[in-house]
Amino acid sequence: MADYLLELLVSLTIVAGAGFTLVGSIGLLRLDDVFQRMHAPTKATTLGVGLILVASCLATWMTQREVSLHEVLVALLLFVSAPVSAYLVARVALQRRSNARDGVDGEDR
């Protein structure tokens, strides 16, 4: 009975993670501004992938009775790289907006 509940938990976590990832991906395609488009993947998709990694950790523990460090390392990389990449995209967008307002055509000075 306990294995059935763990399998159900893993299944629900995968479905929830896939749902968040889908919402983040749709937000990336449908939103108007670069700042809005940047927000969807950094929030929803990160949560979705995190839930899928939790499901993978649970499934590994359930089948092999050991903790998988691969998923922990992937989650650490994801949670470190997502904010950094969002910050860099925001800086480039702000710089381009500033250059467009000043009449600079994007070439190096």
Which pLDDT tens digit goes with each residue over 47-100? Answer: 999 999 999 999 998 888 888 888 889 989 988 888 888 899 899 999 988 888
Amino acid present at 1: M
**Does the residue 109 lie in any domain?**
no
Host domain of residue 90:
2-102
Residue 107 has pLDDT above 60, yes or no: no
108 domain residue, yes or no: no
pLDDT of 45 over the 70 cut: yes
**CA-CA-CA-CA torsion sign (50, 53, 55, 58):** negative
| 78 domain-assigned | yes
pLDDT of residue 105: 61
Residue 85 lies in a domain: yes
Check residue 106 and give its pLDDT: 55
- For the cut 60, the answer to whether the pLDDT of residue 40 exceeds it is yes
Answer yes or no: is 98 within a domain.
yes
Overall pTM > 0.75? yes
Structurally, the chain folds into a number of domains equal to 1
Task: Answer whether residue 37 is part of any domain.
Answer: yes
Enumerate the H helices of the chain as residue ranges: 2-30, 34-40, 46-64, 69-102
Amino acid (1-letter code) at residue 82: A
Does a structural domain hold residue 107? no
Reading the block at residue 69, the tokens are 């460090």
Are 13 and 52 in contact, with CB atoms under 8 Å apart? Answer: yes
Range with the largest mean pLDDT of 6-10, 30-34, 64-68, 97-101 = 6-10
In a domain, 19, yes or no: yes
